[in-house]
Structure 1
Amino acid sequence: MIVPENREDLGLQIKAEKGLLENNLSKLRFEIREGFGNTADLRMVDIDFFLKKGLIIYLESMVDAKTLKETTQMLWSKQNDEGAGFSIEDFTILCKMAFGGASIQFVKTKEEIFLAICSGSIIIMFEELESAVSIGMESNDKRTVVEPSTQTVVRGPKDGFIESLSTNVGLIRRRIRNQNLHFEQFVIGEATNTSVYMGYVKGIANQAILEEVRNRLQKISVSAIFESGNIEELIIDKTFTFFPLAMNTERPDTVAGNLMEGKIVILIDGTPFALLVPAVFVNFFEVSEDYYQPFFLGTFIRGIRYLAFMIALLTPSIYVGILTFHHELLPTSLLLSVIAQRASVPFPAVVEVLLMEITFEILREAGIRMPRTVGQMVSIVGALVIGQAAAEAGIISNIMIIIVAITAIANFVSPIYSFAAASRILRFLLIIMASFLGLYGVLLVLVAMVAHLSSLRSFGVPYLAPLAPIIIEDQKDVILRFPIWSMIKRPKYMRAESEKKVFAESSPSPPPRKGGNLG
């Protein structure tokens, strides 16, 4: 369900015809209490206002008690004894005078009353009026803005998204102070009624991609939405793949940078992780910090990420393939050393690798799920103790510990957790194929992986763009990171409405010398 963009505080158009309110407070009180199942935090307060009987309804757990007390006291101070001619319009005007910029709306159906109460609003209604007034007073209990825990930076902003949708929108608007930054609201989940925002920059985002994202969000029909992962699974192209087709982040500067490239952000109430679509393969090797460092340093670090991805993906399978089928690829001295270390190992190389890889995956998950104070200690100490003990017991070789350690460390270099998880899964497939076909099996899997990546689309955008199909203009920000002043246009594959993003097409130069001195 999408919320209309032209929604007026006092002019909300009611389309639902069923469940219209009646002017019987006692009956309505019973229906609302029955609808909420007589929940413990439901409050119904009888009032007399302008000599008319009324009712205030709210959920104590969702409303800010201090704001409720202050605003109701302010409202009562506005009344007098002239109750004649009192109408819902009169009361609404009075509420606007008393509450100023508070969110005030008409509600005319019981369904709207239930939704408003669950969203943190109070409902005020009177005996002889067929409409009620909803006033937003949602509790402000929320986590403070802190540094992201999963995507840390050395140089750059330290603030991260939280579980509050309004706060997250504000963090983006502080970076893009432009009236063309638009957010569309959706309410998704038949039972949870979760608020979802779709954000984009008008005049930059491609209208065809924008319409596709909007349609997919509107077509979602589920009972509950709790996290961005739920939305991601419901809107991405229905393709069986290990690779993520939407990028998630909890960094506002990353979202702002991608919005200015023509991407679309999806924010979900109750989670600090935002979705960025469309997402292509090269996006998972880029972080916003690349653009805060000198371009040569950004290029070097990005190259390290590509190298680390290949190491994490291929090292164990190459080890298995060489020891099983291709001994001639190792220098004689190194081969003799490896054979001597494995002389007492009772398992073939593939079993040895799988045993250690699975053990490390268990340690990784244990470190994540355990309390923070002991999680890191368990991961590090567990890996050292188990690895050393296994080597001394002759279960594995010392070189195997080195292989697993290098693989694990390289896997942590990936800035996006979901992308790193894809390489972890593929690593096991590569190990198994290497045990049957050696390095030929590894090559077959790599060819199949590239073919699979070439077939993927993210909201109509080729997943391997701008590498396949090759787009020469976009190569300034793929493996290499050119200076910002030289990246004049936005990515070609995004088909942005406004292509140009840098208006000075040359590097700043020092002023000319005059008589051997500057100035």
Structure 2
Amino acid sequence: MEKSNASHSAASKIARMKESLELQFGHSDDLALYPLRVAGQEGLLCFLTTMTRSTSMMDNVVKPLVIQDLSGISREEDDLMTHIRKHVLAGLTTQLTDRSEGLAQKLGLGFAAIVLEGEPNLLLIDVKDLEVRAVSEPTTQNVVRGPKEGFTESATTNMSLIRRRIINDKLRFEKYELGEQTRTEVYLTYVEGEADERMLDAVRQRLNACSLVSLFDSGSLESLLSPEGIQLFPTVYNSERPDAICSLLLDQRIGVIVSGSPFVLITPALLHDFFQSPEDRYQWFVLSHFVRTIRYIAFFFSICMPALYVAITSYHQELIPTMLLTSIAAQREGIPFPAVIEIFLMELSFELLREASTRMPRIVGPSIAIAGALVLGEAAVQAGIVSNINVIVVSLAAISSYVAPIYSFASNIRLSRYALIVFGACLGLYGVIAGCAFLMIHLSRIETYGIPYVFSRYQRARNKTTC
């Protein structure tokens, strides 16, 4: 009689479990609830078909449970669930739990659950088997010389790419789960003994204090890892190239890998990091320094050239050589707008073309961008809306902004260019100089975890770190 009551109680427990899961998942089509019979006891296998493959589930979980005869095995020390975990599913990642409240969350993370009659514990099995993009060449950082492998959306693959390059038992990966709705896996990576402990503690505190509702890309964490306040320049480095990330990890930096994002973050990032490319280490050092100098000059052109054009043509024509001044005056004859309006019209046109070429399909995007730039530029000049010199200035500034190896840095400095144009239109060269002075002061005041942003070498600042 007592045995019958116990069996009825256990059966009702399985029924309640099934009803609870169906209620939580809203009878979702990918929810699989399969009845099992193990060692003469009724059971239930629960998993999501979208998080694993059916063939993998059958071969690794169902067949071992059904084929092996567990009824005659003596289990004097272990209960049935523990015996299954140790002897039947020993090759899989499993865990026992006596709590069913978080079962739906575990299923969403790619676990399967086995519930048996008369057993107080649930057996959770890690069976996630998801399709991931193969390792391919980075899309935002073209590789001329060096490894042509790029990070993918799989955090496990990204950790493997780092581990393959840093053969060091001091390399560490710490796991976090961020996002109340997404429960995204985030990994903090560093080389123990190289990264500053106080800085590590500061990054850990920020990750633990994160209260995001959802997290789909590493870009959402950049503001969390950046210093407080408005920063006109990026203070977190991101890259698709494993060799770039590994080089910075060996330079005592801290990395952040976000599952679902092919961009790995590095903090702290200094100004000179955004002007360096991994390829600089793969070629003659004289050429590397020359190319790096070109990048700094391009950075100056990108920010200051449109503003200098507006300031000189509007207020300081005496600074222009006579022959060039005559040529500019001839080109501007009949232009109905002042120089500042010309510049803003062309800058807006380039912004529209840049955004359109980014959002359009890859097949037609480049052709539309090239045709749009040529046709619009030529038509605008012939219509007398803008001058030839204006097109040259804006084009050179736009091209110079993308000389920096990191795309995010090129995107941020565009805002500074617009501000300097306004200063130059209002105050001439004095305004441009005042704007550049403001940028220099702003750069000198930026600190990432106590390290000055304009330090030329991170090692020199390491002993002064204060978090």
Taking the aligned partners of 1:174 and 1:154, their CA distance within structure 2 comes to 21
| Secondary structure in 2 matching 1:110 | coil
Taking the aligned partners of 2:443 and 2:91, their CA distance within structure 1 comes to 50
Cα offset, 1:462, TM superposition: 1.4
User: Is structure 2 residue 248 aligned with structure 1 residue 280?
Assistant: no
- In the alignment, is the contact (CA less than 8 A) between 2:451 and 2:464 conserved in 1? no
**1:240 counterpart (230, 249, 270):** 230
User: Is structure 2 residue 236 aligned with structure 1 residue 262?
Assistant: no
- In the alignment, is the contact (CA less than 8 A) between 2:225 and 2:236 conserved in 1? no
Corresponding position of 1:60: 49
Count, aligned residues: 455
Corresponding position of 2:37: 48
**2:320 counterpart (300, 312, 330):** 330
Q: Which has the higher helix share?
A: 2
The runs of 5 or more residues in structure 2 that have no matched partner are 1-9
User: Is structure 2 residue 288 aligned with structure 1 residue 298?
Assistant: yes
Taking the aligned partners of 2:310 and 2:280, their CA distance within structure 1 comes to 35
| Secondary structure in 2 matching 1:61 | helix
Cα offset, 1:271, TM superposition: 0.7
- In the alignment, is the contact (CA less than 8 A) between 1:122 and 1:137 conserved in 2? yes
Taking the aligned partners of 1:370 and 1:87, their CA distance within structure 2 comes to 65
User: Is structure 2 residue 353 aligned with structure 1 residue 385?
Assistant: no
**2:459 counterpart (491, 507, 510):** 491
1:174-226, Cα deviation, whole Å (9 max, x unpaired): 00111110000001111111110000000111111111111110000121111
Corresponding position of 1:456: 446
Corresponding position of 1:35: 24
| Secondary structure in 2 matching 1:198 | strand
Cα offset, 1:75, TM superposition: 3.2
Cα 1:348/1:58, change in 2 over 3 Å: same
Corresponding position of 1:349: 339
Taking the aligned partners of 2:40 and 2:32, their CA distance within structure 1 comes to 22
Cα offset, 1:89, TM superposition: 4.7
Corresponding position of 1:512: none
Corresponding position of 2:105: 115
- In the alignment, is the contact (CA less than 8 A) between 1:232 and 1:246 conserved in 2? yes
Same amino acid, percent of matched pairs: 38
Corresponding position of 2:182: 192
- In the alignment, is the contact (CA less than 8 A) between 1:120 and 1:136 conserved in 2? yes
Taking the aligned partners of 1:496 and 1:57, their CA distance within structure 2 comes to 54
The runs of 5 or more residues in structure 1 that have no matched partner are 1-20, 467-473, 475-489, 498-519
User: Is structure 2 residue 137 aligned with structure 1 residue 147?
Assistant: yes
Corresponding position of 1:394: 384
| Secondary structure in 2 matching 1:276 | strand
Cα offset, 1:100, TM superposition: 4.4
TM-score (norm 2): 0.94
Taking the aligned partners of 1:310 and 1:88, their CA distance within structure 2 comes to 72
Cα 1:364/1:170, change in 2 over 3 Å: same
User: Is structure 2 residue 152 aligned with structure 1 residue 162?
Assistant: yes
- Amino acid paired to 1:120: G
Cα 1:446/1:411, change in 2 over 3 Å: same
Taking the aligned partners of 2:314 and 2:84, their CA distance within structure 1 comes to 83
Taking the aligned partners of 1:459 and 1:107, their CA distance within structure 2 comes to 40
1:436-466, Cα deviation, whole Å (9 max, x unpaired): 1011101111111111111112122211113
- Amino acid paired to 1:492: R
**2:191 counterpart (190, 201, 211):** 201
Corresponding position of 1:367: 357
Cα offset, 1:22, TM superposition: 11
Taking the aligned partners of 1:132 and 1:495, their CA distance within structure 2 comes to 50
- Amino acid paired to 2:48: L
1:32-80, Cα deviation, whole Å (9 max, x unpaired): 2212222121110110000011111001111122211111213322233
